[in-house]
Amino acid sequence: MKIYYLIIAFILANTIVPAQQKTKTENVILITLDGMRWQEVFNGADSSFMRQQQHLKDGNLKAKYWRNDLTERRKALFPFFWNTIATQGQLYGNRAIGSKVDITNNQLFSYPGYNEILTGHADNERIHSNDKMYNPNKNVLEYFNSLPAFKNKVAAFTSWDVFPFIINDKRSGVYVSTGWEPIKDKKLNDREQMLNQLTQSLPNPLGDVRLDAFTFYYGMEYMKKNKPRVMFFAFDETDDFAHGGEYAAYLNSAHYTDRFISELWDFIQSDPTYKNKTTIIITCDHGRGADAEGWKHHGQKLPEATQIWFAFLGPDTPSIGEVKSGQYYQNQIAKTMAALLGVSFDGEGKIGDAIDGVVKR
């Protein structure tokens, strides 16, 4: 009889496959740069755009970002991407070498893009505007927040004030800090109090969009105090400045967002809660046009706006740098986030697959 049970146990052990393989990643941080073109990420500043008179308000623009060598040029704009992620992580989306990343929704603007990132699928029938409408689709942040191990350990810090609706904070229970709303907490520290004072005192140059520096530093204070396991930073200035045709401001915003991410990574690697246990994912919601006028815009009339990019850095991601071939999609991010955390997210049964190369097998 004992032999019989041993045989059954052996068969079960070799036929029942766990839902997910154990990973080293215990925390995930998703970061988005709204409307950041792949062309600047992989090629650096565009000299033809810099030469246009309306972009010469910043006299040091060429000195700051132009280098004759492409490798050095992209490092000048995105030093953390090309000194750290390129040597320790992965970057996808350099179409010049055969690596393609595209969105699958047909709207080619922000709300549909963020919906696709967070839910893992496009919803062209219901998500077709940037209106403040509560998202009917369940998102991966909401899923994490429903799990006991992640409950109340999921947060989003966003510059654009539509995000409470995209994430559906009322239904999901995910904490969302957005727009120019001050932080509310029973025990605000000195930095949070100062940030609150500044947000209520400064003019709002981007209207309802909070300046990205506030979004970042509010989020950093939250991480230090609350130690969330899943964090979402959504930066917006790159899109705002691009729509205004301000190429200098667009480049400057991209550059200091790279610096924010570097500062975030330094914190991660210095904090015992996060060190060697955290993966960061960086991407954008949509691309932009390619020529001197089109780069300012996106939408259905600009097919290049489907073209986006990804970056990954963390303990489970092989250090291969630029991925030189393959077709990837925006709808793969949600399931990849779940795979990194060792759980399975199926959304509504129609989401993109996890990206194979991001998690070691």
User: Helix axis angle, 333-340 relative to 110-119, nearest 10°?
Assistant: 30
Q: Which of 229, 247, 93 is nearest to 155 (CA)?
A: 229
Place of tokens 């070691």: 360
Element (H, E) at 172: helix 169-172
More confident residue, 5 or 86: 86
Is residue 17 scored above 50 in pLDDT?
no
Q: What is the pLDDT of residues 130-173, one digit of tens each?
A: 999 999 999 999 999 999 999 999 999 999 999 999 999 999 99
Name the residue range of residue 285's domain: 23-358
Is residue 7 scored above 60 in pLDDT?
no
CATH classification of the domain holding 107: 3.40.720.10
Q: Mean pLDDT lowest for which of 3-17, 135-149, 242-256? A: 3-17
* pLDDT score recorded for residue 50: 87
Q: Is residue 215 part of a domain?
A: yes
Q: Is residue 10 part of a domain?
A: no
* pLDDT score recorded for residue 56: 56
Q: Is residue 218 part of a domain?
A: yes
Show the CA angle centred on residue 272, arms to residues 267 and 275, nearest 5°: 60
pLDDT band at 208 (very low <50, low <70, confident <90, very high): confident
Q: How many domains does the chain have?
A: 1
Q: Is residue 12 part of a domain?
A: no
Across the strands, what pairs with 281? 30, 312
How far is residue 25's CA from residue 231's CA, in Å, rounded to a whole number? 13
Is residue 212 scored above 60 in pLDDT?
yes
Q: Is residue 334 part of a domain?
A: yes
Q: Which of 340, 153, 130 is nearest to 236 (CA)?
A: 130
pLDDT band at 204 (very low <50, low <70, confident <90, very high): confident
Place of tokens 């008179």: 53
Place of tokens 């795979």: 339
Is residue 302 scored above 50 in pLDDT?
yes
How high does pLDDT run on average in the chain? 92
Radius of gyration of the chain (CA): 21
pLDDT band at 21 (very low <50, low <70, confident <90, very high): low
Measure Cα distances from 39 to 44, 73, 74 in Å: 7, 12, 10
Q: Mean pLDDT lowest for which of 177-186, 187-196, 268-277? A: 177-186
Burial class (CB in 10 A: 0-12, 13-18, 19+), 203: exposed
* pLDDT score recorded for residue 15: 33
Q: What is the pLDDT of residues 328-360, one digit of tens each?
A: 999 999 999 999 999 999 988 789 999 999 998
In eight-state DSSP terms, residue 106 is: S
Q: Is residue 32 part of a domain?
A: yes
How far is residue 219's CA from residue 183's CA, in Å, rounded to a whole number? 10
How far is residue 321's CA from residue 86's CA, in Å, rounded to a whole number? 4
pLDDT band at 209 (very low <50, low <70, confident <90, very high): very high
Which structure tokens are listed for 352? 């993109």
What are the φ/ψ torsions at residue 67 (nearest 5 degrees)?
-140, 140
Residues near 1 by Cβ (< 8 Å), separated by ≥ 6? none
What global pTM score does this model have? 0.93
* pLDDT score recorded for residue 348: 80
Q: How is the beta sheet containing 154-158 ordered, strand by strand?
A: 175-178, 154-158, 230-235, 27-33, 278-283, 310-313, 90-92, 321-322
pLDDT band at 57 (very low <50, low <70, confident <90, very high): low
Which structure tokens are listed for 348? 């509504």
Q: Is residue 300 part of a domain?
A: yes
In eight-state DSSP terms, residue 351 is: P
Q: Is residue 145 part of a domain?
A: yes
